[in-house]
Chains A and B, each alone.
Chain A
Amino acid sequence: DAGVIQSPRHEVTEMGQEVTLRCKPISGHDYLFWYRQTMMRGLELLIYFNNNVPIDDSGMPEDRFSAKMPNASFSTLKIQPSEPRDSAVYFCASRRGGGNQPQHFGDGTRLSIL
Chain B
Amino acid sequence: AQSVAQPEDQVNVAEGNPLTVKCTYSVSGNPYLFWYVQYPNRGLQFLLKYITGDNLVKGSYGFEAEFNKSQTSFHLKKPSALVSDSALYFCAVVLYNQGGKLIFGQGTELSVKP
Contacts and interface: CB of A to CB of B under 8 A. Distances in A.
B2 to A, nearest CB: 13
Contacts of B104: 42-43
Contacts of B99: 31, 48, 50, 55-56, 99
A43 B105 CA distance: 8
Contact of A99 (B32, B46, B90): B32
Interface in B78-114: 90, 94-96, 98-102, 104, 106-107
A48 B51 CA distance: 22
B90 A107 contact: no
Interface in A91-114: 91, 93, 95, 98-108, 110
Interface residues of A, number: 24
Contacts of B106: 42
A4 interface: yes
Contact of B49 (A102, A104, A110): A102
A91 B47 CA distance: 18
Given A4-B43, A108-B43, A100 B94 contact: yes
A77 interface: no
Contacts of B46: 102-104
B96 A105 contact: no
Given A43-B90, A100-B51, A105 B100 contact: no
B45 A105 contact: yes
B67 to A, nearest CB: 14
Closest 3 CB pairs of A and B: A99-B100, A105-B43, A102-B46
Interface in A37-94: 42-43, 45, 48, 50, 55-56, 91, 93
